[in-house]
């Protein structure tokens, strides 16, 4: 079973596990670089939790997820139309002031990450802001029925530098209680430069 199939099969459980997670501090950091009413792409929106928060604050948000079943649940939860598109198939041209990807790329291997970052840069307006969070570590492989790829600070800094499309505003760690104990996350805030 591939990762998208996993999300389709277990969409209800994943929705319940994630819809109430508190990401307010991360959202506030991201939004401090945007203006009210700006356009935001919620990459890998999952339950739609953050899309709804952005919408309620007056932002023009576009939720996107690759899982058909997660899209259905997010539409019910948010009342917003959710785009069902894989990251590889995204084709936006300077459509967004910000891209929010909270845990959105935890299933993407390093050799595909640069291409996705290029697509995100294409979708951002000039000086647009990107937020991404990644599991911190060096694990790459199948865990709990899904492929995961963890990253280190050094890897993320190098990958962003190699794209030549972003400058890092801030890179910081947070910890969250997970199902198997604590999880360490790397949070990345960057600005499009080309």
pLDDT-wise least confident of 33-47, 109-123, 180-194: 180-194
pLDDT at residue 82, as a whole number? 98
What pLDDT digit, counting tens, does each position of 164-187 carry? 999 999 999 999 765 455 789 999
Nearest to 33 by CA among 115, 89, 98: 98
d(CA 139, CA 154): 15
What pLDDT digit, counting tens, does each position of 56-87 carry? 999 999 999 999 999 999 999 999 999 999 99
Beta bridge partners of 135: 185
Phi, psi of 47 (to 5 degrees): -70, -20
**Reduced to 3 states, what is the DSSP secondary structure of residue 59?**
coil
Q: Which tokens in the block code for residue 57?
A: 């604050």
């Amino acid at each position: 079973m591939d990762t998208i199939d996993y999300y389709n099969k277990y969409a209800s459980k994943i929705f319940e596990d994630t819809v109430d997670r508190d990401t307010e501090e991360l959202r506030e950091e991201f939004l401090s670089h945007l203006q009210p009413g700006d356009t935001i792409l919620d990459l890998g929106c999952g339950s739609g939790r953050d899309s709804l928060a952005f919408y309620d604050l007056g932002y023009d948000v576009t939720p996107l997820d690759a899982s058909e079943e997660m899209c259905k649940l997010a539409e019910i939860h948010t009342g917003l139309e959710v785009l069902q598109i894989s990251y590889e198939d995204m084709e936006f041209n300077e459509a967004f002031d910000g891209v929010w990807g909270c845990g959105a790329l935890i299933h993407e291997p390093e050799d595909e990450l640069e291409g996705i970052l290029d697509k995100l840069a294409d979708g951002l307006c000039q000086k647009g802001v990107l937020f991404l969070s990644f599991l911190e570590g060096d694990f790459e492989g199948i865990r709990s029925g899904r492929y995961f790829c963890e990253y280190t600070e050094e890897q993320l800094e190098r990958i962003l530098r190699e794209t030549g499309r972003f400058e890092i505003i801030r890179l910081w760690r947070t910890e969250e209680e997970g199902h198997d104990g604590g999880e360490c996350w790397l949070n990345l805030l960057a600005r499009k430069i080309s």
